[in-house]
Structure 1
């Protein structure tokens, strides 16, 4: 079935499901509001809870994680989604059905969501852009059709849960393109075609939701410009430029300066969709968080998302969370949201 026929079938199915959903939806464009976005990516939360991990507030009272985060002024949640993931707790899950369920939970907590489409079965980042296994041997035209179908379906699954995303990211840290080798940066027309297909399908289901492209390493302006120049030059569509930065201390002013330059050059507002700092240096991370938020506000950046602050050992070895494994309470890092 071509993407037009596929869209018609899915649209009818999605409309029926949506009719049963609660009528109150989250605002589609919180990014355009005066409120600065203070967010957190908590995609590991369902798997942590399923494995018995619990969370206490700073006073030692066990609470739902989203409630604790809201107490720090966090007003949005970011959720990644993979196409056909494994069941590994740390490196799997996050299928669109699981992501939609988590998005509904966030909506019920009054938190808009940023849906991060990785276009892979597991981690894709600046150095790795593997297509889903089911797409690996496709030609460009076949992959284009798969992209239309996948994104349209994914958005309708979200919609059927009664959620309108605050934002949708088409790809994760796509400096080198997506779905290598078909959509790599070295094939800019194909890269742009795939991403535009994703953009169009987000807008087909959620016309008012801002769509982000997401680049890593804003300290390397040439690398960011290489992608955005190729994407814009081939007719690429996007509403917000998402950037990842884990810079610390004296490196932050230079990164903020580059973010300002990126926003100015392309005329798209910037959002820092990933931030983090070493768990064992929580006070420094708090200061870094304050510095980024203050700097972003100065040049009109839309907001910042802390990447997986809730994670703590021994769930996995990630060392940039903001939770104390001994007390299961937040570290001082999160106070950066309150103090900025």
Structure 2
């Protein structure tokens, strides 16, 4: 799960409810936006304007409706039409818990499994958007607090066998996608790997992969196996994916990359990916550009914010408690549609000012519906989405088509 999602699961229990890789040239278009703005469209090569749409298929399958000015539309088309040039999608190894624990129905799709992700990639590519495929290397949410080893790998006790498993899984997944003409433009080797990968819920004799405990060499070997698989899968493809390594929050980033590169021996990657949620970070938005500039210069890599979000209301649309409440609201940005838009505009400009290469918003289409997860029915995130509580698009999405100073 995203960093904030699992870190704050307990918060949900105690918080009450409130009532080719180029996507085309940069052009001006007169699209049907929720206001009178003059939109500017960016290519993914110029600056990634991204949205994590991992939940969209599940929402559509459970009664969710997306519309623009009251007209029901394909959500992938809505995002493409309003400036999104890259769709981010999480991939779980074998999420059988969705069938057994959530829906208790073996006929349900394994959402965020291979077939579901393939479905989303086909939709995104059909709308002219690039894809960032996020390998969690887990059957469930991976984040700084949870990096559970896939059940299929629980009996592995040797590092070489684990490296081979990571390589084969990554290579075979990408090769299948490439054969179907939907190779992703970006690949994340791990999700919010602040302390490592596959180090929770692992057997005692499993190879230690927790960098926070000093096991950088083992962690580096496993990450390098994933990287090698991405490179090998792209050799004969029309698309050679850029590789992202992903850490939660800017204040953790420099330390992590220093260690994974020097102690772990990892160097063959393209992009430093960061989760940035200002309320849960020691880094104020006013300093984000400096951090990004520092990372770019020190590590000689592109830098992207691959997860972020902001609330447009603190009210709920359903009985599923929201992760972001009053305490998540910054003083300069009210919890309004205009406040959300301004926050994302300012964040994007800060990333650009620091020389960064993109911004991806986490789950801006997670509206309320009959969709279920392990903690509730509906959405704990609908107040951060780009749709009102009738499922109609609002102006928050317009940050993607703002005329920035690049």
Q: TM-score range by the shorter chain?
A: 0.7 to 0.9
Q: Is contact 2:310–2:340 with CA below 8 Å preserved after alignment? A: yes
Comparing 139-148 with 77-86, greater Cα deviation is found at: 139-148
Q: Is contact 1:74–1:337 with CA below 8 Å preserved after alignment? A: yes
Q: Is contact 2:92–2:138 with CA below 8 Å preserved after alignment? A: yes
Asked if 1:37 corresponds to 2:67, the answer is no
- Equivalent position of 1:263 in the other structure: 296
Unaligned regions of 5+ residues in structure 1, if any?
1-25
Residues in 1 aligned to 2:222 and 2:23: alpha-carbon distance in whole angstroms:
24
- Equivalent position of 1:334 in the other structure: 397
Cα offset for 1:184? Answer: 1.4
Residues in 2 aligned to 1:123 and 1:258: alpha-carbon distance in whole angstroms:
27
Q: Is contact 1:279–1:319 with CA below 8 Å preserved after alignment? A: no
- The equivalences for 1:57-96 within 5 A come to 57=68, 59-86=69-96, 88=98, 93-96=111-114
Asked if 1:318 corresponds to 2:381, the answer is yes
- Equivalent position of 2:175 in the other structure: 156
- Equivalent position of 2:360 in the other structure: 305
Q: 1:226 to 1:251 in 2, by over 3 A?
A: closer
Comparing 176-185 with 313-322, greater Cα deviation is found at: 313-322
Match of 2:361, SS state, is: strand
Residues in 2 aligned to 1:165 and 1:319: alpha-carbon distance in whole angstroms:
27
Residues in 2 aligned to 1:103 and 1:242: alpha-carbon distance in whole angstroms:
20
Q: Which residue, 115, 119, 126 being the options, matches 1:108?
A: 126
Cα offset for 1:320? Answer: 4.8
- The equivalences for 1:151-230 within 5 A come to 151-180=170-199, 182-185=208-211, 186-207=214-235, 208-218=240-250, 220=251, 223-230=252-259
Residues in 2 aligned to 1:190 and 1:28: alpha-carbon distance in whole angstroms:
36
Number of residues paired by the alignment? 311
Match of 2:98, SS state, is: coil
Q: Which residue, 144, 149, 154 being the options, matches 1:126?
A: 144
Residues in 1 aligned to 2:400 and 2:388: alpha-carbon distance in whole angstroms:
21
Q: Which residue, 234, 259, 272 being the options, matches 1:241?
A: 272
Residues in 2 aligned to 1:292 and 1:193: alpha-carbon distance in whole angstroms:
34
Q: Which residue, 327, 330, 351 being the options, matches 1:296?
A: 351
Match of 1:178, SS state, is: coil
**Aligned Cα root-mean-square deviation (Å):** 2.5
- Equivalent position of 1:4 in the other structure: none
**Deviations 1:78-124 (CA, angstroms, capped at 9, x unpaired):** 11100011363889621122212221221111111000000100101
**Deviations 1:262-314 (CA, angstroms, capped at 9, x unpaired):** 12211101011111112412322211110111122223211111111111124
Q: Is contact 2:76–2:123 with CA below 8 Å preserved after alignment? A: no
Structure (1/2) with the larger helix percentage: 1
**Deviations 1:47-75 (CA, angstroms, capped at 9, x unpaired):** 11111211001x11111111111232111
Match of 1:38, SS state, is: strand
Residues in 2 aligned to 1:154 and 1:263: alpha-carbon distance in whole angstroms:
30
Residues in 2 aligned to 1:256 and 1:246: alpha-carbon distance in whole angstroms:
14
**Deviations 1:233-284 (CA, angstroms, capped at 9, x unpaired):** 1320311111111226992122332122112211101011111112412322
Residues in 2 aligned to 1:42 and 1:279: alpha-carbon distance in whole angstroms:
18
Q: Is contact 2:144–2:248 with CA below 8 Å preserved after alignment? A: yes
Cα offset for 1:33? Answer: 6.5
Comparing 153-162 with 114-123, greater Cα deviation is found at: 153-162
Residues in 2 aligned to 1:150 and 1:34: alpha-carbon distance in whole angstroms:
28
Q: Which residue, 116, 138, 145 being the options, matches 2:156?
A: 138
- Equivalent position of 1:14 in the other structure: none
TM-score, normalised via structure 2 length: 0.71
Residues in 1 aligned to 2:286 and 2:153: alpha-carbon distance in whole angstroms:
41
Q: Is contact 2:21–2:44 with CA below 8 Å preserved after alignment? A: no
Residues in 2 aligned to 1:198 and 1:71: alpha-carbon distance in whole angstroms:
34
Q: Is contact 1:171–1:214 with CA below 8 Å preserved after alignment? A: yes
